[in-house]
Amino acid sequence: MKPKQTQCDRIISYIEEFGSITTLQAFKDLGCTRLASRIHDLKQQGRDIVSSFVLGKNRYGDKVSYKKYTFNENNLKGV
């Protein structure tokens, strides 16, 4: 029997496939409600993940900012 994939495993796969992940994407696509905690876990495991703020608008047209997580491109060039 194949072992169950963890939320951290799913986040890694998601970033590999789509290039980045946000809290909303993690919630909608992976059912992960605590992305920042899982990112912390991944960093503790040695994953080189960086975050950046994205500016956008919410459903009411108000300006908002949120984090987007990606793998550190500087460390991926040698892979």
Pairing of strands 63-71, 21-22: antiparallel
> Contact at 8 Å (CB) between 49 and 69?
yes
Q: What is the pLDDT of residues 52-75, one digit of tens each?
A: 999 999 999 999 999 999 999 876
Q: What is the pLDDT of residues 21-61, one digit of tens each?
A: 999 999 999 999 999 999 999 999 999 999 999 999 999 99
The reported pTM is 0.84
Domain limits, the chain: 7-72
Order of strands across the sheet that contains 21-22: 21-22, 63-71, 49-57
Task: Tell the residue number behind the tokens 């608008």, with chain if given.
Answer: 57
**Distance between CA 25 and CA 35 in Å, rounded?**
10
Assigned fold of 7-72: Arc Repressor Mutant, subunit A (1.10.10)
